[in-house]
Chains A and B, each alone.
Chain A
Amino acid sequence: MALNGAEAIAEAMRQINPDVVASYPITPQTIIVERFSEFVADGLVDTEFVAAESEHSALSASIGAAAAGGRSMTATSSQGFALMWEMLYIAAAMRLPIVMAVANRALSGPINIHCDHSDSMGGRDSGWIQLYSENVQEAYDNTVLAVKIAERQNVRLPVMVCMDGFTTSHAVERVDVLDDDVVKKFVGEYHIDHPLLDVNQPVSYGPLALPEYYFELKMQQIDAMTNAKPVIEQVSRAYGSISGRSYGLVEPYNMEKAERAIVILGSTAGTAKSLLDDLNDPRLGLLKIRAFRPFPAAEIAANLRKCKAVAVLDRAASYGSIGGPVFSEVRAALYDESKRPQIVSYIYGLGGRDTTTDMLKTVYDDLDTIAKTGKPDPVQRFLGLRED
């Protein structure tokens, strides 16, 4: 099927047939809710569609629906994501397996509708699992996977499925869509142990917890994230057996003999792959991070420890830090290695700035210099920044 990323996610949502979808339009996410509303209008799903009056309410309604005992989904971007911020933490703390599509878009100001990861990076510590999609196929696959991961008993955490705004949300690609029955069987029925609608066994969701208990409740969320790592892998393997497409927490590309590697999330991984295919140089590799939360530190270290120089490309700035958010964590993941590669941070693509294969080539060239001199100086660099 030829679909763009937003339509592919809507298609997955149709197949999942959630009980409640609550959302609010924002470019470039809007197509998801528009397509989904058509499915509702045509009676192709049994979903209650809540056209909320804001993203804050959309996520609040998703929380109410999931606690009630319904499978619930939503979608957003940028300012909408920022407006949801308060509720992101609450959804995770209530351990509600909500699935949210995020069409990544730069945050204001200045207002900009194009892609970067400053929205979802702002929610990285909110307790949500974060899956990043390289292309339309992954946006579709991740949506189906997300439902299953979120609802696993020892995880029970919300999941966001991120895709790059416009680059993936609006680009039409050929997608392998599974049969409706296959998806239905794979995701199964939604079940939570203590739904609010079980009036015979009343429960209280969202109490006040003072210093005696708050910390332990947070610990349970930390444990759930730890549990999520093997679950993502198991679910991905199961998905591989029905789709032929298997995914890990990270995806190494040409890493077997790589001395220089780029680490990246999202669609620019595709650009890097195409460059590597052209260069056909075993010394150059790519490590794509698919799950940024939980953070696959061990897997990252295992893939990078043999490299001489590594560049981490961040599509979000972390003002006042020594590099982007992904850089800081990748660098931390390597700290325990006895032999560490030199490592640099590149901030790229902010506000939708194009990142070409030529630009990525310059990164590999820089890494060559760094590997030779053994000095990543400066540590923070900017890729594709206009200098005039």
Chain B
Amino acid sequence: MKLRDIAGSTEHLTCGHRLCTGCAEPIIVRQVLHAAENPVVVANATGCLEVATTIYPYTAWKVPWIHSAFENTAATISGVESAYRALKRKGKIDKKINFIAFAGDGGTYDIGLQSLSGALERGHAFLYVCLDNEAYMNTGIQRSSSTPRGSWTTTTPVGEKLVGKPEYKKDITEIVAAHGIPYVAQTAPSHWMDLMTKVKKALKVEGPTFINVASPCPRGWRSEPEESMRLSRLAVETCYWPLYEIENGVWKINLKPKKKPIEEYLAPQKRFAHLLKPQNKHIVDDLQRRVDERWEVLQWKAEVSQQRSQQKQPPQTPASQT
């Protein structure tokens, strides 16, 4: 995969959409679609990506695309994929098609969790891409269960009693991994090669796969539009957003950066501005402690699961049911 080839290949999400300047979502979508070798059919949850790309009678999508509601992208693509299997069996279709669902963190971590879990458990063959911008951006920056502790949002304002969101960010990647599906990964658009390699891997699997992608949002993160890719990189380099994958139960860290302090990631984002005041240092320390702990646990998981996989065959997942 060469950058030059990618640059020359067909765009499946065209310009003319109305996503904000500096939004990482179209960048991620284009990287994902460039990595797909077979024709794809896309399902999209309600959210920024959906509303900004298909304002009737226009559409920015050059691939078949369906949006039905907010919380049911996984269920919708389950139906599409089931029809595909039925029509294939009846000999009415012979093409190999890949199915990809895009949803925000709100549509994945919160309201869409049930339909995602159901679809994963049933073993439908599709790739689910979560565009994690850490809040409900489309409705105007409200907290989601993906919003990090201490972050300002319009429903976790900074006031006398509360300093941003009190709770920690939910770890959806691990929750998805607990479904025992064949492929789960976390990546970021700053690391496009990592992202595209993971998409290619996921689309080769016959079964459900999940990729969580950090998606900087200048409006919600209160950051400069031109900073998005740098923030994506900082998320990785501070180990706030480690690049890793879980293939058939084996954890693998794809990049072990020289860990930068969490402040470097927080400082350019005004959603965290209050944390840099001396009286809130304990929250930053807490975030750092959590990043360190989780990074440690991740390394431990990778080590143990790799040793285990060398000793014996990894447990077979029952996902391929074509």
Listed in ascending order, the chain A residues whose CB lies under 8 Å from chain B are 19-20, 22, 46-48, 50-54, 56-58, 60-70, 72, 86-87, 90, 94, 196-199, 202-210, 213, 217
Report chain A residues within 8 Å CB of B77: 64
* Contact residues of B between 29 and 54, Cβ < 8 Å to A: 39-41, 43, 50-51, 54
How many whole Å from B113's CB to the nearest CB in chain A?
A: 11
Given contacts A56-B115, A68-B80, A206-B66, is CB(A199)–CB(B75) below 8 Å? Answer: no
Q: Does B276 contact A (CB under 8 A)?
A: no
Say yes or no: A207 contacts B86, CB within 8 Å: no
Interface of A is mostly: mixed
Q: Please, how many angstroms separate the alpha-carbon atoms of A210 and B51 in the complex?
A: 10
Say yes or no: A198 contacts B64, CB within 8 Å: yes
Known: A70-B82, A70-B86, A86-B69. 15 other contacts (CB 8 A): A46-B89, A48-B83, A52-B118, A53-B118, A56-B75, A62-B79, A63-B79, A64-B75, A197-B80, A198-B64, A199-B63, A204-B66, A204-B67, A205-B68, A209-B56
Given contacts A46-B86, A202-B61, is CB(A208)–CB(B76) below 8 Å? Answer: no
* Contact residues of B between 72 and 90, Cβ < 8 Å to A: 72, 74-87, 89-90
Interface centre among B54, B79, B86, B89 (most CB of A within 10 A): B79
Q: Please, how many angstroms separate the alpha-carbon atoms of A63 and B73 in the complex?
A: 11
How many whole Å from A107's CB to the nearest CB in chain B?
A: 21
Given contacts A63-B76, A199-B41, A202-B61, is CB(A54)–CB(B118) below 8 Å? Answer: yes
Report chain B residues within 8 Å CB of A205: 65-68
Report chain B residues within 8 Å CB of A50: 78-79, 82, 122
Given contacts A51-B122, A202-B62, is CB(A210)–CB(B56) below 8 Å? Answer: yes
Q: Does B25 contact A (CB under 8 A)?
A: no
Say yes or no: A61 contacts B78, CB within 8 Å: yes
Report chain B residues within 8 Å CB of A206: 54, 66-68
| 6 CB-based A-B contacts, threshold 8 Å | A19-B87, A20-B79, A46-B90, A52-B118, A53-B114, A68-B79
Q: Does B97 contact A (CB under 8 A)?
A: yes
Q: Please, how many angstroms separate the alpha-carbon atoms of A19 and B90 in the complex?
A: 9
Report chain B residues within 8 Å CB of A67: 66, 79-80
Interface centre among A56, A63, A72, A208 (most CB of B within 10 A): A208
Report chain A residues within 8 Å CB of B55: 207-210
Q: Identify which of A22, A54, A70, A197 contacts B114 (C-beta below 8 A).
A: A54
How many whole Å from A179's CB to the nearest CB in chain B?
A: 21
How many whole Å from A218's CB to the nearest CB in chain B?
A: 12
Given contacts A197-B87, A206-B66, A207-B54, is CB(A57)–CB(B82) below 8 Å? Answer: no
Q: Please, how many angstroms separate the alpha-carbon atoms of A67 and B84 in the complex?
A: 11
Q: Does B59 contact A (CB under 8 A)?
A: yes
Interface centre among B51, B68, B72 (most CB of A within 10 A): B68
Q: Does B8 contact A (CB under 8 A)?
A: no
Q: Please, how many angstroms separate the alpha-carbon atoms of A209 and B80 in the complex?
A: 23
Smallest CB gap from A198: residue in B? B64
Listed in ascending order, the chain B residues whose CB lies under 8 Å from chain A are 39-41, 43, 50-51, 54-57, 59, 61-69, 71-72, 74-87, 89-90, 93, 95, 97, 114-115, 117-119, 121-122
Q: Please, how many angstroms separate the alpha-carbon atoms of A58 and B61 in the complex?
A: 26
Q: Please, how many angstroms separate the alpha-carbon atoms of A48 and B119 in the complex?
A: 14
Q: Identify which of A22, A52, A64, A217 contacts B68 (C-beta below 8 A).
A: A64
Given contacts A87-B68, A207-B67, A208-B56, is CB(A57)–CB(B83) below 8 Å? Answer: no
How many whole Å from B242's CB to the nearest CB in chain A?
A: 30
Say yes or no: B63 contacts A19, CB within 8 Å: no
How many whole Å from A144's CB to the nearest CB in chain B?
A: 20
Report chain B residues within 8 Å CB of A57: 72, 74-75, 78, 114-115, 118-119
Say yes or no: B82 contacts A65, CB within 8 Å: yes
Say yes or no: B75 contacts A65, CB within 8 Å: no
Q: Identify which of B56, B79, B86, B89 contacts A213 (C-beta below 8 A).
A: B56
Report chain A residues within 8 Å CB of B51: 208
Say yes or no: A64 contacts B86, CB within 8 Å: no
Report chain A residues within 8 Å CB of B56: 207-210, 213, 217
Q: Please, how many angstroms separate the alpha-carbon atoms of A68 and B50 in the complex?
A: 19
Say yes or no: A196 contacts B66, CB within 8 Å: yes
Say yes or no: B43 contacts A64, CB within 8 Å: yes
Report chain B residues within 8 Å CB of A198: 64
Report chain A residues within 8 Å CB of B121: 53
Say yes or no: A48 contacts B59, CB within 8 Å: no
Say yes or no: B122 contacts A196, CB within 8 Å: no
Report chain A residues within 8 Å CB of B93: 197
Q: Please, how many angstroms separate the alpha-carbon atoms of A51 and B118 in the complex?
A: 9
Report chain B residues within 8 Å CB of A19: 82-83, 86-87, 90
Given contacts A63-B79, A69-B87, is CB(A53)–CB(B117) below 8 Å? Answer: yes
Q: Identify which of B74, B75, B97 contacts A197 (C-beta below 8 A).
A: B97
How many whole Å from A219's CB to the nearest CB in chain B?
A: 14
Q: Identify which of B50, B63, B75, B87 contacts A61 (C-beta below 8 A).
A: B75
How many whole Å from B287's CB to the nearest CB in chain A?
A: 34
Say yes or no: A54 contacts B115, CB within 8 Å: yes
Say yes or no: A90 contacts B68, CB within 8 Å: yes
Q: 9 shortest A-B CB distances, which residue pairs?
A: A64-B79, A53-B118, A70-B83, A61-B79, A57-B75, A207-B54, A68-B83, A60-B75, A199-B39
How many whole Å from A200's CB to the nearest CB in chain B?
A: 8
Q: Please, how many angstroms separate the alpha-carbon atoms of A94 and B56 in the complex?
A: 13
How many whole Å from A74's CB to the nearest CB in chain B?
A: 10
Q: Please, how many angstroms separate the alpha-carbon atoms of A199 and B291 in the complex?
A: 43
Say yes or no: A196 contacts B80, CB within 8 Å: yes
Q: Please, how many angstroms separate the alpha-carbon atoms of A72 and B80 in the complex?
A: 10
Report chain B residues within 8 Å CB of A94: 68
Q: Please, how many angstroms separate the alpha-carbon atoms of A64 and B86 in the complex?
A: 13
